[in-house]
Chains A and B, each alone.
Chain A
């Protein structure tokens, strides 16, 4: 029934004029510019079969993904000098004349059994050569996945970094007011399409965290006024309570091997960081300090746990061995640093950084040795940074006009885009892992 409704909704959205569409969650809102980005054109990929055309505009999705990354500057459809669908049809000088470095062409064909075959080519305009030429076959309902996979392949071929467009995100959406307030844990594509509620509650939900294989979400809910940590299996909808101790049960975060969960418990009377073995449920206490210790997040190799602590005054990020021991302070710039997200190579740490009444997303980059800080968002109440699995972009939550909204921002801070959400107040974004291991 829900699937049928979502299909009907999709159909409805497609029949609306563009103005209404923008309000329904399609707003593409690049708030920063990027003159250094690589110019790329994505030509329309028309349906050339004999049946019903797919609903998905693959070229538009590929272009939007590439633009959102901050690494590319895409050519508006109105400025295309021609509309080739195959490499051999391309008149290269026409693209060179408008300073395009790269061109993506393609078409959609029938593949039998109600499936479609999307063929595409990535072309180097200056060298007049083909860099990629592939075909992907999928059902009509999976054509957005196809588009994101094409964007990933183009991104990787040109930049040498794996693309992370074909990924999912999780976040919390709040609808209604007062006693009718409803909290939903949402899972959506990386561009916030195909949003589905996976958990609904009349009590607050927070801190979703993905298992490394993308099959489960850990999160915090409330029962009888007390916080509880759950693990939810997305495919089956099964939900398990993993922590319901006295006091706070919060901030769950799967270990990189998926076998352990770092979390915050105040069962001793004060919030401390623990690691739970998900098989045996055995707990290891990592911190023991009268300050508030919370928001654990793992290093990529699982050997260390970063966390937020106010042991030295206002909250800052600290790191401790995953087996416990003494903690050392990591952040020294900014009066308030919390909610650390660590890039897979461990070189970048994003935080919600506070100064006075302004909270912005900041990033500490140690790639070149000593840490360099940059600000990724304008404030005033930005929080919950979450790196994409390739660390080239982040999601975060902001407040605008009295409601929560989500933004994606490139790690170089050059392009920010608000992810449209139809209705409600959204927060607590968590960027999921790659869909396929490599």
Chain B
């Protein structure tokens, strides 16, 4: 328990540090306060004007970072790997820039081990991505996290190259 708690705290600390480091790198505009305005903000339509420096709906199809919608995990792990922090940062910025957008995180596991345990593991991974998005400034009110466990693999062979593609969280926008 102690080891686990300590490692969680350490993980969160690392993620926060990385979030700040990365956000400097991409030179984001300062985050607007989205906490109290979610749901009350009038969304600008998909074809509405886009403020320079702010993400617009079209960027989901064109922006190199925003087009990346899958975060991968190590075996039995729910810790966000550092190489996925930049993806988390740009999606967090999108959530801030588009308070009307809604995101569904879908957690998945590979086929090994019990199906029900893997449902839990998938949920933990989705929660880890949700936490990282919020640490990077996204609003929890825009995010839902679910798990399919091992039920929806993208690759169906029984080997590591396949398994690592299945240990993932998919980012889906239900509203852009």
Q: Which residues of A contact B (CB under 8 A)?
A: 204, 206-207, 222, 225-227, 247-248, 250-251, 264, 266, 269, 271, 290, 292, 294-295, 308, 310-311, 314-315, 336, 338-339, 352, 354, 357, 359, 380-381, 383-384, 399, 402, 427-428
Contact = CB atoms under 8 A, between A and B. Distances in A.
Contacts, number: 89
A380 B111 CA distance: 11
Nearest to A295: B116
A399 B158 contact: yes
17 contacts: A225-B104, A227-B119, A248-B123, A250-B119, A264-B116, A269-B127, A292-B117, A314-B76, A338-B113, A339-B114, A354-B113, A357-B112, A381-B158, A383-B115, A384-B115, A402-B158, A428-B115
Interface in B113-132: 113-117, 119-121, 123-124, 127
A402 B115 contact: no
B113 A336 contact: yes
A295 B158 contact: no
B37 interface: no
B152 A204 contact: yes
9 nearest A-B residue pairs (beta carbon): A292-B120, A204-B151, A338-B114, A271-B120, A339-B114, A251-B116, A225-B146, A294-B116, A295-B116
B6 interface: no
Contacts of B120: 248, 264, 266, 271, 292, 294
Interface string B1-42: 100100000000000000000000000000000000000000
B61 interface: no
Interface string B85-111: 000000000000000000010100001
Given A266-B123, A294-B116, A380-B158, 13 more contacts: A222-B148, A250-B116, A251-B116, A290-B4, A292-B120, A294-B119, A295-B114, A295-B116, A315-B113, A336-B113, A354-B113, A383-B113, A383-B114
B116 to A, nearest CB: 4
Contacts of B116: 206-207, 250-251, 264, 294-295, 308, 338-339
B83 interface: no
A336 B76 CA distance: 11
Interface of B: 1, 4, 76, 104, 106, 111-117, 119-121, 123-124, 127, 146-148, 151-152, 156-158
Nearest to A249: B119
Nearest to A225: B146
B114 A352 contact: yes
B160 to A, nearest CB: 8
Nearest to B172: A225
A339 B152 CA distance: 20
Contact of B114 (A247, A290, A315): A315
Contact of A292 (B121, B146, B158): B121
* Max chain A Cβ within 10 angstroms of own Cβ: one of B120, B123, B127, B146: B120
A248 B158 contact: no
Contacts of B123: 247-248, 266, 271
Contacts of B106: 225
A292 B124 contact: yes
Contacts of B117: 292, 294-295, 308, 310, 315, 338-339
A227 to B, nearest CB: 7
Contacts of B119: 227, 248, 250, 264, 271, 294
Nearest to A397: B115
Nearest to A399: B158
A204 B152 CA distance: 8
* Max chain A Cβ within 10 angstroms of own Cβ: one of B4, B116, B146: B116
Contact of A225 (B112, B113, B148, B157): B148
A295 B115 CA distance: 9
Contacts of B114: 294-295, 308, 315, 338-339, 352, 383-384
A380 B1 CA distance: 31
A354 B112 contact: yes
Nearest to B124: A292
Given A247-B123, A248-B119, A248-B123, A227 B113 contact: no
